[in-house]
C-alpha cells in the first residue's frame, strides 16, 4: 500500500491514470485496526487497484474535501473519476470491503 505525505500528493495520485483505492484510516481508530490485518490480502485479490493509505489525521483537508467524516473508509477512482465509496464510521469486515470492490464498475 502506498502512502503519500502531503494532501497534494494524495489528490494527484487519486487523479492519475488507472484504478486507485484510497483507504482512510488512523492509528488510534479501533475499527481501522480491525480491518488493517486483512488489507494485504484484499490488495492481493485486487491487483488492478493501486491502494493508497490516507492517514485521516495527517491529511484532514483531503478527508474533508472528499467528504470522509468516518473511518475506516474507502473511495475508488478510475482514471481520475470517483467510481464508488464505502464511507461511514462503521467497522468493516473483509467480506464487506470485497463486496464493495466487487460492486464497482469494471
Chain-centroid distance, C-alpha 101: 11
Contact call for residues 38 and 31 (beta carbons, < 8 A): no
58 catalytically annotated: no
Considering 10, 21, 22, 32, which one is annotated as catalytic?
32
**Closest CA relative to residue 34, chosen from 45, 43, 25:** 25
Write out the three cell numbers for 48: 488492478
Considering 22, 29, 68, 101, which one is annotated as catalytic?
29
32 catalytically annotated: yes
CA angle 42, 13, 80 (to 5 degrees): 90
Write out the three cell numbers for 54: 490516507
Provide CB contacts within 8 A for 9, sequence distance 6+: none
Would you please indicate which residues are annotated as catalytic (active-site) residues?
Answer: 29, 32
Amino acid at each position: 500500500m502506498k502512502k503519500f505525505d502531503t494532501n497534494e500528493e494524495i489528490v494527484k495520485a487519486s487523479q492519475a491514470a488507472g484504478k486507485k483505492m484510497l483507504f482512510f484510516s488512523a492509528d488510534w481508530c479501533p475499527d481501522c485496526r480491525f480491518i488493517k490485518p486483512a488489507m494485504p490480502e484484499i490488495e492481493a485479490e485486487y491487483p488492478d487497484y493501486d491502494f493508497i493509505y490516507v492517514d485521516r489525521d495527517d491529511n484532514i483537508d483531503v478527508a474533508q474535501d472528499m467528504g470522509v467524516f468516518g473511518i475506516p473508509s474507502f473511495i475508488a477512482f478510475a482514471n481520475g473519476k470517483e467510481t464508488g465509496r464505502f464511507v461511514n464510521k462503521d467497522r468493516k469486515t473483509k467480506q464487506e470491503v470485497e463486496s464493495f470492490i466487487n460492486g464497482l464498475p469494471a
